[in-house]
Amino acid sequence: MVSQGSSPSLLEALSSDFLACKICLEQLRVPKTLPCLHTYCQDCLAQLAKGGHLRCPECRESVPVPPAGVAAFKTNFFVNGLLDLVKARAGGDLRAGKPACALCPLMGGASTGGPATARCLDCADDLCQACADGHRCTRQTHSHRVVDLVGYRAGWYDEEARERQAAQCPQHPGEALRFLCQPCSQLLCRECRLDPHLDHPCLPLAEAVRARKPGLEELLAGVDNNLAELEATRMAEKEALARLREQATRVGMQVEEAAERVLRALLAQKQEVLGQLRGHVEAAEEAARERLGQLEGREQVAREAVAFARRVLSLGREAEILSLEGAIAQRLRQLQDCPWTPGPAPCLLPQLELHPGLLDKNCHLLRLSFEEQQPQKDSGKDGAGSQGGDETQPKGRDGAETPKQDRAQTPQEDGFQTPKVERTETPREDGAQTPKESRAQTPQEDRGAQTPKGGRSNKKRKFKGGLKSVSREPSPAPGPNLEGSGLLPRPIFFSSFPTRMPGDKRAPRITGLCPFGSREILVADEQNRALKRFSLNGDYKGSVPVPEGCSPCSVAALQGAVAFSAGARLYLISPEGEVQWRRALSLSQASHAVAAMPSGDRVAVSVSGHVEVYNMEGSLATRFIPGGKASRGLRALVFLSTSPQGNFVGSDWQQNSLVVCDGLGQVIGEYRGPGLHGCQPGSVSVDKKGYIFLTLREVNKVVILDPKGSLLGDFLTAYHGLEKPRVTTMVDGRYLVVSLSNGTIHVFRVRPPDS
């Protein structure tokens, strides 16, 4: 017998799905092989055959169906042999769960044989021990290979069984295929050899294999060479694609940086021009106030003299009138001869001049050029060249070299100059100079805004500056006020309303805001111990009752519930005021910020440098420290918000920064730059696109940052009516609600840049 494990079985060398049909996903039945060498069940192929053709389910190659049907496709004897081997290993007559001898019923007439313990590889029969011993003692079967049945079932003799087991003729059952008809290239048994292939030259199978195997091996070697070339080409294609992606990433970053530089320069020029404009208006207003004071004083003197004269003429007696007639006449002549105006005052109206390139649709500050990748023989050199910095400058369409893509031209480099502000004098009908009630609009301004009509100016001259500048310092570049830029979200005023109600005993002190239903907000008035409901238009909708003695600080609305912090406790109440649960928080923090998760079924609260998240049942769902345990005790999140993407945004008063982290506490971005103006970061809100709105109370600003915490510029300033803003919230992802220290609420619609 062959020793156990001397060689791996044939089935172990094949994949487990080799004998499964890829169409019905079951074991192959009557396997037929297509010209593309894919094998399927005959019945499955018959279902795919349409119009004399069928398409291979695996390689999608179209195959013509023979006139005799799919049965005429070549029978896969290799698969048939494997299937026979599988059936022989698994099958046989069973008695009490054991295979039975195939010879005992033939000799003794019994209906079933004894338990089989061996197998003849040549006869493909299971044998009991007695029949196995006798099988070796006859002239015809003494050379047969009889092996242990357990080892055979385990696959130890698969290779030997396949060598001894001949393929059976499909037309003559019981006959083995022994010959190959050379003209017909068909396998024959002895019966097939007699008719109709009697006159055809035939070869035994072994001799035919020896004659034809070298040709197949030569073809295999050729295909192996093709496969090697295909593999090399595929790897080269992958490398080219990787280089393309790497270069695209690099160019994309260069485009972002170049656009940021251009934007920063443009916004800096905008801030400069706006500063000049504000300075001019302030100087003009100061001069106008001085002239108005003079005019009002003269008017008052004239009116008093006229009133006195009229009173004397109407109420005085003749002697009294005549006695005062000289003094009155002298005063009236004096007033009549006095000039009524302090002289013509110049009114210089500003006008904006735009660089022609800004209005030219064909002006491109950024432009891509493409160059063909040169195949490089040494992949190592190629990798070093792609990263090492030996950058070639691509050619433009005209053949000239274009600038390197990692350096974009700013507007000043492209001939763009600071727009000049002009002052225009417009004469009034009475000859006095009045300011013209119009201004030039930039192309980025709101389309809904219209320029008021005014008369043509008779005099125009360039304004070179010289007026005093505004003292308020803008945010660092690119941080000027974004209204009207059209390049980032900008505010559009929506409404403004007070929050003090008739029943309030004290002035409101708003410490928390959150959206509450459709186009409504919930206001936490800590001073009056109330949660007030307002529409975005300012309509009072009532209040949510709070437990007695609670002064709500921060508030968040969940699904059918309201969460708020008060003192060192976190509460969850129903809209009717019923307390569902309360949790004690750390006493080391004066106030605790709460925020609703985007799913609406959990609430996050900042506690002593970390964030805790509770579910609707009051169980602690997760807890993390922004930045990990290494930063524990180094953070104090006084304000907290969540983004639609599931990130957390907080104002860290310990680090004096704004921090953005994911749900696991991994810090995505952090800003602590000069855009904070040295102030502690205040309330934070996030819109539906992830833009972050940060309140800076000391400088009366709300600045905007991108989703990763990079400063983009000012969003709201004192020019929008901000006076000591306290807390903010975002409603429906597009309405920014800002509360002021005096209890007033301003609502601004956030207009997206692509609107």
Q: How confident is the model at residue 348 (pLDDT cuts 50, 70, 90)?
A: confident
Element (H, E) at 570: strand 569-573
pLDDT digits (tens, 9 = 90+) for 620-631: 999 988 887 666
Torsion of CA 102, 105, 107, 110, to 10 degrees: 150
Is the pLDDT score of 159 beyond 90? no
Choosing among 3.60.21.10, 3.40.50.1820, 1.20.1290.10, 3.30.40.10, the CATH entry for 12-90 is 3.30.40.10
Q: State the Cα–Cα distance between residues 558 and 581, nearest whole angstrom.
A: 14
Is pLDDT at 495 greater than 70 in this prediction?
Answer: yes
Q: What is the Cβ-side half-sphere exposure of residue 752, based on CA atoms within 13 angstroms?
A: 9
What pLDDT is stored for residue 729 in this prediction? 96
What is the structure's pLDDT at 163? 67
Q: For the segment 240-265, what is each residue's pLDDT rounded down to a tens digit?
A: 888 888 888 888 888 888 888 888 88
Above 90 in pLDDT, residue 137?
Answer: no
pLDDT of residue 297: 86
Q: Give the count of beta carbons closer than 10 Å to the beta carbon of residue 350.
A: 21
| Residue 398 confidence class, pLDDT cut points 50, 70, 90 | very low
Q: Output 509 or 213, whichever has higher pLDDT.
A: 509
Report residue 507's pLDDT band, with 50, 70 and 90 as the boundaries: very high
Query: In 3-state terms, what secondary structure has residue 457?
Result: coil
Question: Domains of the chain: which residue ranges?
Answer: 12-90, 243-333, 488-749
pLDDT the model gives residue 455: 39
Query: How many angstroms separate the CA atoms of 637 and 604, rounded?
Result: 12
Q: Which residues pair with 433 in a beta bridge?
A: 427
pLDDT of res. 392: 40
Question: In the predicted model, what is the mean pLDDT of residues 183-207?
Answer: 84
Q: Let me know: does 659 contact 626? Beta carbons within 8 Å.
A: yes
Element (H, E) at 583: strand 579-584
Tokens representing 434? 């009045």
Q: Which of 26-35, 357-366, 701-710 has the lowest average pLDDT?
A: 357-366
Q: Is 651 helix (H, G, I), strand (E, B) or coil?
A: strand
Given this model, what pLDDT does residue 463 score? 35
pLDDT at 415 (0 to 100)? 40
Give the pLDDT band of residue 340 (cuts 50, 70, 90).
low
CA distance 734 to 534: 17
Rounded CA-CA distance 174/172 in Å is: 6
Cβ atoms 647, 668 nearer than 8 A: yes
pLDDT of residue 443: 36
More confident residue, 91 or 425: 91
Q: Which of 269-283, 373-387, 701-715 has the lowest mean pLDDT?
A: 373-387
pLDDT given for residue 433 in this prediction? 37
Between CA 15 and CA 22, with CA 21 as vertex, the angle to 5 degrees is 90
pLDDT at 68: 84
Residue 473: pLDDT over 60: no
Q: How high is the pLDDT of residue 467? A: 32
Instruction: For the chain, give the percent of residues with pLDDT over 90.
Output: 24
The residue among 446 and 599 whose pLDDT is bigger is: 599
What per-residue confidence (pLDDT) applies to 460?
38
Rounded distance, CA 73 to CA 58, Å? Answer: 17
Which ranges in 377-443 belong to alpha helices (H)? 379-388
pLDDT digits (tens, 9 = 90+) for 529-555: 999 999 999 999 999 999 998 999 999
Q: What value does the mean pLDDT of the chain take?
A: 78
| pLDDT tens sequence across 78-113 | 777 777 666 666 654 433 457 788 788 777 666 666
Give the residue, 403 or 681, on which the prediction is more confident: 681
Q: What is the pLDDT of residue 343?
A: 60
**Angle at alpha carbon of residue 348, lines to 343 and 350, rounded to 5°:** 165
pLDDT on residue 538? 92
pTM above 0.95, yes or no: no
Task: Let me know how long the chain is.
Answer: 755
| pLDDT tens digits, one per residue of 573-600 | 999 999 999 999 887 777 899 999 998 8
Whether the link from the prior residue into 480 is cis, omega within 30° of 0, is: no
CA pair distance 40, 23, nearest whole angstrom: 7
3-state secondary structure of 479: coil
Architecture per CATH, 488-749: 6 Propeller (2.120)
Task: Output 352 or 170, whichever has higher pLDDT.
Answer: 352
Give me the sheet containing 433-434, strands edge to edge.
433-434, 422-427, 459-462
CA torsion, points 70, 75, 78, 81, in degrees to nearest 10? 110
Phi/psi of residue 677, each to 5°? 55, 30
Question: Is residue 381 pLDDT above 70, yes or no?
Answer: no
Q: pLDDT tens for residues 206-244?
A: 888 888 888 888 888 888 888 888 888 889 888 888 888
What per-residue confidence (pLDDT) applies to 745?
Answer: 95
Q: How much of the chain is in helix, strand and coil states, percent to nearest 5? A: 30, 25, 45
Burial class (CB in 10 A: 0-12, 13-18, 19+), 140: exposed
Angstrom distance (rounded) from CA 34 to CA 49: 12
Instruction: State both tokens at 664.
Output: 């696991």
Mean pLDDT of 179-189: 86
- pLDDT at position 375 is 59
